[in-house]
Homo-oligomer: A and B are copies of this chain.
């Protein structure tokens, strides 16, 4: 009886998209089922029909989000470029990916904070975890070869900070600088180029 299969896919998809929107902005606790239903343009009961409970729905969305994080961090792993090119590749890759989904970064930070165990596990199994460790190892090798200078962990943390923070704290920074949405988008776009120069100079011997 694949009668309303298309309809089903549609609403299920609509719910997922709506839930993603609402969860990303409000987190698990802050999100309201009614808000998700409104966003999807359906009845609240449908959310339960398709996903049983709020927690279950969240898990599905969250798994998708982890998927996305894996891909972003996967940008690190690529190929056998020299260290400075790898850094450039990561900065551009991350910033562009983050631009298309700016709410994501703060969401991840918050959920990390509230449920650390989940991530500890993920770091071991996912390719994001291995890619990151490999990247830190690359930095360590480059430092030993005196191609760059500084504590590898500090360098890594600095890169993450410089890339992630402008998205995670977007509203705060925008307010601090007195920028409009457009101005800030421009700032973020120009930032890729700035960051590569800034970081490369900062770790050069």
Query: Residues on A close to B: CB < 8 A?
Result: 26-27, 29-30, 106, 108-110, 112-113, 116, 119-120, 123, 132, 136, 150-151, 153-154, 156-158, 160-162, 164-166, 168-173, 175-178, 187, 190-191, 194-195, 197-199, 201-204
Contact = CB atoms under 8 A, between A and B. Distances in A.
Given A162-B158, A198-B158, A202-B202, A123 B175 contact: yes
How many copies are assembled?
A: 2
Contacts of A165: 157, 160-161, 164-165, 168
B113 A106 contact: yes
A106 B164 CA distance: 13
B116 A175 contact: yes
Nearest to A203: B198
A199 B199 CA distance: 9
18 contacts: A29-B29, A106-B113, A109-B169, A113-B170, A113-B171, A116-B175, A119-B172, A123-B176, A154-B191, A154-B195, A154-B198, A158-B162, A158-B195, A160-B165, A160-B173, A161-B165, A198-B202, A198-B203
Contacts of A120: 175
A197 B198 CA distance: 12
Contacts of A175: 112, 116, 119-120, 123
A154 B187 contact: yes
A22 to B, nearest CB: 13
A96 to B, nearest CB: 17
Query: By DSSP majority rule, is chain A's interface helix, strand, loop, or mixed?
Result: helix
B169 A164 contact: yes
Nearest to A198: B202
Contacts of A157: 165-166, 173, 177, 187, 191
A171 B110 CA distance: 9
Contacts of A119: 172, 175
A106 B112 contact: no
Contacts of A171: 112-113, 116
